[in-house]
Amino acid sequence: MKRRRGFVQMAVLHLLEEAPMHGYQIMKELEIRSGGNYSASAGTVYPALQEMHEQEMIELEPTSEKKTYFIQEKGKVRLKEFRIRKEGAFWSNWEARWSWQNSEEATHLKELIDLWETELRTAIRQTRSTPENSQKLIAFMKEITERLKNEDY
């Protein structure tokens, strides 16, 4: 889930392209645009703002009483690059992503991933005592990886 901050950064740049905002406004607007499915936290938004500020994509408005951010040229360039690579309307994708994240299917998949990870770690520990089994585990993981790559989901 490390990519989330990048996705949040894109969302913040889209917002700041529309109008300068302070952190709380950004958090509220991200929640609204997700249809209420994403509750932006200060622990996500402010580090993203700081990183974008350090990269000179955004700047603080000098005349504002609150820390109000606005987009800089580097931020506009990043948005342009993003738009070239991605399809569809950003805010529709934003809402769909967070809606799915809160769905029953996503919750079930996360639970299964956690269970799978636990079982995989157990299998890895077991291969330490029987190195010949490590080749079986490697083959199994390669097979599963190939199946995931080749399936049409």
Q: Locate the domains of the chain by residue range.
A: 4-102, 105-150
**Which helix (H) or strand (E) segment is 143 a member of?**
helix 132-150
21, β-bridge pairs: 69
The H-or-E segment that residue 69 falls in is strand 68-71
Which CATH code, of 1.10.10.10, 1.10.1660.10, 2.60.120.590, 3.40.50.970, is assigned to 4-102? 1.10.10.10
Exposure string over 105-116, b if 16+ CB within 10 A, otherwise e? eeeeeeeeeeee
Residue 68 DSSP code = E
Which tokens belong to 67?
């820390």
Q: Is the pLDDT at 39 greater than 80, yes or no?
A: yes
Q: What percent of the chain has pLDDT over 70?
A: 95
Q: Which residue has the higher pLDDT, 112 or 153?
A: 112
Query: Strand 21-22 and strand 68-71: pairing?
Result: antiparallel
